[in-house]
Each structure stands twice: as C-alpha cells, then as structure tokens.
C-alpha cells in the first residue's frame, strides 16, 4: 500500500471519527485509533490523532463555552490527570497489545449494560472516581479515554449541550499537554505532521456536519447514540488485537 493511499484512508477515518466527536463530545479516539494504527503505525497514529482531536475539541469548546459545566470540568480533570501521566509512561514502557484487548472487552461490557439496563440513578462515588482514573489512564496510553469518561459523565451531567461542551473541554485541556509532550519527544518531525495536514479539510467538514446532526437529536436519542458508539468502540479495540 502506497503512502498516498495510507494518507487518504487515514484522513477518511478522521472525518468519521471527528464527526462522532462533535456530535457526542467523545468517541473520536476509540473509533479512530484502531484503524489508524493498522494503516500508519502506532506512534504516528497516536501523535496525529491526538493533535486532530485536540483541534476539534478546542473548536467545540470555544463555540459552546457558555454550556461548559465548570464544576464538573474541575472534578473530571482532577480525577483524570494523574491517570494520564501514568498512561503515557505505560505507553512508553509496556507491551500494550493485551491491554488494548482487555480495554475493548471492558468497553463492550459497559455499553451492553447501559443499552440493556439504562442507569436510573447516580453512580456510587467510588465507581465514579474509578471511572475517571481509568479514563485518564486510557487517554494517556491510547488517546481513548472516552468510554470510561462517559460512565462518569452520563451520570453527572444530564443535559445534552452541557455534556458535549464539558467533555470537549476536558479533551482540549488534556490533549494540550499530550500534544506538547509529543512535540518535545519529536513525534511530529516525521509522517505525523503530514497526516494532520491532510486531515484538516475533512475534519472541518466533520465539525460542521456534526454540529447540525447533534442539534437535531433529542436527549434519549443522544444517550442511545452514545451507548451504541461505546459498543462500536469496544469491538474495534478487540478487532485491533486480532489483526496486529
């Protein structure tokens, strides 16, 4: 497969992933990373996907700044940031294939439970804290912390626009650090920068279309879309284990 074909496939994946990211506030990483890693490799995929999602989330956050739940934003960041540091270290130190497989199984189980038995009340505090820590860990390792963050956020943030704006701001803040660290590590000196540049126009289109779709979904449709997306994310993570 030529480099041009790889780049076109990567940019196409980013269009869909960032459309989903704009609609829900999460999901871009879990959807984008498995096929991106298969096409361009783990390091280039992580660097390029993180930068692209960072830009998307900044746009959503700025556009919907009045909807951000500041209190929940602080709680989420306090719970996730330690896990992000640990996750980025683990990514550099450990063989991660089996971890991604286990992560995918957990995500599928979470999504199945939410689809079949929707939550009727707030989650217990220990479960919320655990979900945030795991979200940070998975974000640091795979740029895919969304599924665990949703476990917390669906219970803590009930209104659709606040949900999307707050989670987008979480990713904007965390990915600012991650992109900065990757720049320092030299991860954008090679193909990753080309991949980001090739994805700019598809991502802009994804943001514009995603905003219109999101505005038309009612609350129940929105939550169901989120849970189905969780299921797809988990299946993709498991699939990635078998194709590598």
pLDDT for 244 equals 61
Residue 163's pLDDT is: 87
Q: Provide the pLDDT for residue 182.
A: 92
Q: How far is it between the farthest Cα atoms of the chain?
A: 51
Residue 10 to residue 33: CA distance in whole angstroms? 10
Q: What is the pLDDT of residue 196?
A: 95
Q: 77 lies in which domain range? A: 3-243
Assigned token pair, 30 = 């879990």
pLDDT (0 to 100) of residue 96: 67
Exposure string for 49-75, b = 16+ CB within 10 A, e = fewer: bbbbbbbbbbbbbeebeebbbeebbeb
Ordered DSSP codes for 101-113: HHHHHHHHHHHHH
Q: Which of 60, 31, 29 is nearest to 46 (CA)?
A: 29
Q: What is the pLDDT of residue 120?
A: 47
User: Chunked in runs of 10, what are the mean pLDDT values of the chain (244 residues)?
Assistant: 90 91 78 82 89 92 92 93 89 74 76 67 77 88 78 81 89 92 91 94 93 76 73 77 70
Domains in the chain, number: 1
What is the Cα–Cα distance from 45 to 36, expressed in whole angstroms? 5
* C-alpha span between 243 and 68 (Å, rounded): 39
């Amino acid at each position: 497969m030529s480099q041009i074909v790889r780049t076109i496939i990567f940019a196409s994946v980013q269009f869909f992933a960032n459309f989903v990211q704009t609609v829900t506030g999460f999901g871009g990483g879990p959807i984008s990373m498995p096929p991106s890693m298969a096409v361009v490799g783990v390091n280039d995929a992580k660097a390029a996907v993180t930068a692209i999602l960072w830009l998307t989330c900044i746009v959503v956050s700025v556009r919907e700044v009045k909807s951000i739940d500041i209190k929940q934003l602080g709680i989420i960041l306090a719970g996730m940031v330690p896990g992000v540091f640990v996750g980025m270290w683990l990514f550099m130190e450990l063989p991660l294939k089996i971890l991604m497989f286990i992560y995918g199984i957990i995500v599928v189980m979470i999504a199945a439970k939410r689809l079949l038995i929707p939550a009727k009340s707030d989650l217990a505090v220990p479960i919320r804290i655990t979900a945030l820590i795991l979200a940070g860990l998975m974000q640091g390792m795979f740029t895919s912390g969304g599924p665990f963050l949703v476990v917390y956020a669906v219970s803590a943030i009930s209104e659709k626009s606040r949900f999307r704006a707050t989670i987008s701001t979480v990713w904007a803040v965390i990915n600012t650090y991650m992109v900065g660290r990757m720049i320092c590590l030299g991860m954008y000196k090679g193909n990753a920068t080309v991949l980001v540049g090739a994805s700019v126009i598809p991502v802009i289109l994804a943001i514009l279309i995603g905003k219109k779709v999101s505005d038309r979904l009612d609350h129940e449709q929105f939550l169901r879309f989120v849970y189905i997306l969780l299921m797809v994310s988990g299946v993709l993570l498991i699939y990635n284990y078998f194709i590598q």
